[in-house]
Amino acid sequence: MEVTVIGAGLAGVEAAWALAERGAAVSLYEMKPVQYSPAHKYNGYAELICSNSLKAKRIGSAAGLMKEEMRRLGSLCMEAALETAVPAGGALAVDREKFSDYITKKIESHPNIKVIHERVDKIPEEGYVIIASGPLTAEHLAEDIGKLCGEQYLSFFDAAAPIVTFDSIDKDKVFFAARYGRGEDDYINCPMNKEEYEAFYEALVSAEAVELHAFERQDFKVYEGCMPVEVMAKRGPDTLRYGPLKPVGLTDPKTGHRPWAVVQLRSENNQGSLYNLVGFQTNLKFPEQKRVFGMIPGLENAEFIRYGVMHRNTFLNSPKLLDSSFCLKKDRRIYFAGQMTGVEGYMESAASGILAAQNLWLAANGKEPLLLPADTMLGALARYISDETVVDFQPMGANMGILPPLEDRIRDKTLRYEKIAERALNSLETYLSSRE
What residue ranges do the domains of the chain occupy? 2-160+311-435, 163-307
Choices 3.40.50.2300, 3.30.365.10, 3.50.50.60, 3.90.550.10: CATH for 2-160+311-435? 3.50.50.60
Q: Angle at the Cα of 18 (from 360 to 383), degrees rounded to 5?
A: 55
Q: Taking Cα atoms as reference points, which of 25, 32, 29 lies closest to residue 122?
A: 29
Smallest CA-to-CA distance from 15 within 36, 46, 41, 48 is with 46
pTM of this prediction? 0.76
Q: How far, in Å, CA of 340 to CA of 149, rounded?
A: 12
The pLDDT score that the predictor gives to residue 285 is 92
What is the CATH class of 163-307? mainly beta
Spatial separation of the C-alpha atoms in residues 386 and 396, rounded to whole Å = 12
Burial of 214 (0-12, 13-18, 19+ CB in 10 A): exposed
Residue 137 has a pLDDT of 86
Q: Given the DSSP bridges, would you call strands 2-6 and 128-131 parallel, antiparallel or unpaired?
A: parallel
According to the model, what pLDDT value does residue 358 have? 98
Closest residue by Cα to residue 82 from 93, 69, 96, 66:
93
d(CA 244, CA 222): 20
Contact 115, 28 (CB under 8 A): yes
Two domains, one topology: 2-160+311-435 and 163-307: no
Closest residue by Cα to residue 77 from 51, 56, 102: 102
pLDDT score of 39: 64
Question: What is the predicted pLDDT for the residue at 213?
Answer: 54
Q: Is the CB of residue 425 less than 8 Å from the CB of residue 69?
A: yes
Give the model's pLDDT for residue 129. 98
- Determine the pLDDT at residue 151: 76
Q: DSSP state, 296?
A: S
Going residue by residue through the chain, which has 436 residues, state the pLDDT in tens, using 9 for 90 and above: 999 999 999 999 999 999 999 999 999 999 998 887 766 678 899 998 766 789 899 999 999 999 999 999 999 999 999 999 987 778 898 988 999 999 999 999 999 999 999 999 999 999 999 999 988 888 899 999 999 998 788 776 656 789 999 999 999 999 999 887 766 667 899 999 999 999 999 999 999 988 765 544 544 443 444 678 998 999 999 999 999 999 999 999 999 999 999 999 988 776 788 888 988 988 899 999 999 999 999 999 999 988 887 766 788 999 999 999 999 999 999 999 999 999 988 999 999 999 999 999 999 999 999 999 999 999 999 999 999 988 778 888 999 999 999 988 898 989 999 999 999 999 999 999 998 8
pLDDT of residue 224: 46
Amino acid letter for position 126:
E
Query: Mapping DSSP to helix (H, G, I), strand (E, B) and coil, where does residue 89 land?
Result: coil
* CB proximity list for 334: less than 8 A, separation 6 or greater: 123, 128, 129, 130, 131, 148, 327, 328
Tally of CB atoms within 10 A around 411: 6
Q: What is the DSSP letter of 341?
A: G
Query: Distance between CA atoms of 392 and 56, rounded to whole angstroms?
Result: 29
Contact between 278 and 162 (Cβ < 8 Å): no
Sign of CA dihedral 355, 356, 357, 363: positive
Give residue 223's pLDDT.
Answer: 42
